[in-house]
Amino acid sequence: MGSQDRLDKMQMRQNYRNLWHTDLMRTIQQDPPYCCLSLWCGPCVSYMLRKRALYNDMSRYTCCAGYLPCSGRCGESRCPECCLATEVILCFGNSVASTRFLLQDEFNIQTTQCDNCIIGFMFCLQQIACIFSIVAMIVGSDELSEASQILSCLADMVYCTVCACMQTQHKIEMDKRDGKFGPAPAMAVPPVQQMSRLDQPYPSAAGYPHPGYGQPAYPQPGGYPPPPPGHYPPPQAGGYPPPPPPGGYPPQAAGYPPPAGYPPAGYPAPGYPK
């Protein structure tokens, strides 16, 4: 992974939306025994967490999880367990940070502002302690040398404490990943919805079913209901004409249709435009 790729990865990591299951301030409350184990046996815990982060598949192991220029060039494929042991002993800080980046990229976890402040304070304190040690060595003052030693011890204590909290945070996150907090709660069954049926009448202003809604396509045993008043036009005064007689209508009188000389002479009238 080149320097530009690592820079792009860091910028992408700032856009992650998920959060750690436990932030650094609450890791001691969540799992005090593991936090103490990480404080006193940091390299061993780092070895176990990296192996667990790889799902115990050491064929996937790469030095520093592929985040450093030396990754993939240390013979990891021949003896990954030996390379991981060397990494956690000689580069303990990088091993913790690499496991952290590995989990963040897998689960899209962002680092909260509180975690960033704690990690930044740890780095600044280490830098200040280093500067004080160099100045005390150059000046040769006993008071300044003693103050630099106290500051260095304080920086080491903060470093070990933060690394222990970070490793406990990683362990809790992988417990969540592996389902050790118990199964996820089952989703509640949604309530039964009231749905309209085709046989339910649709009320209208006149009190009759809405035309075409909910009406059966065939007559019911009791027949259709009578139409409302004024639905059909009233019958004519003389009634409807009677049906034709059984023998049919009588033939028409002679002379119908008119002879071939139709129309009569003199039609149309003179002066009528043709």
* Identity at 156, one-letter amino acid code: D
CB 122 within 8 A of CB 159: yes
- Residue 33: band (very low, low, confident or very high) from pLDDT cuts 50, 70, 90: very high
CB 148 within 8 A of CB 135: yes
Residue 198, CA distances (Å) to 201, 216, 217, 218 in order: 8, 9, 11, 14
d(CA 182, CA 168): 19
Q: What is the pLDDT of residue 37?
A: 95
174 closest CA partner among 82, 45, 84, 61: 45
Quick: pLDDT tens for 180-202. Answer: 876 655 444 455 545 544 555 54
d(CA 33, CA 164): 11
The residue ranges of every structural domain in the chain are: 3-177
Q: What is the DSSP string of 188-251?
A: PPPPPPP---TTS----TTSSPPTTSS--SS--TT-PPPPPTTSSPPPPTT-SPPPPPTT-PPP
Is residue 166 scored above 60 in pLDDT? Answer: yes
Residue 51, CA distances (Å) to 5, 27, 44, 123, 168 in order: 25, 21, 11, 27, 15
Helix axes 32-40, 42-53, angle to 10 degrees: 110
| pTM of structure | 0.62
Quick: pLDDT tens for 110-149. Answer: 888 888 899 899 999 999 988 988 998 888 888 888 888 9
Average pLDDT of every residue of the chain = 77
Residue 203, CA distances (Å) to 222, 226, 232 in order: 21, 17, 22
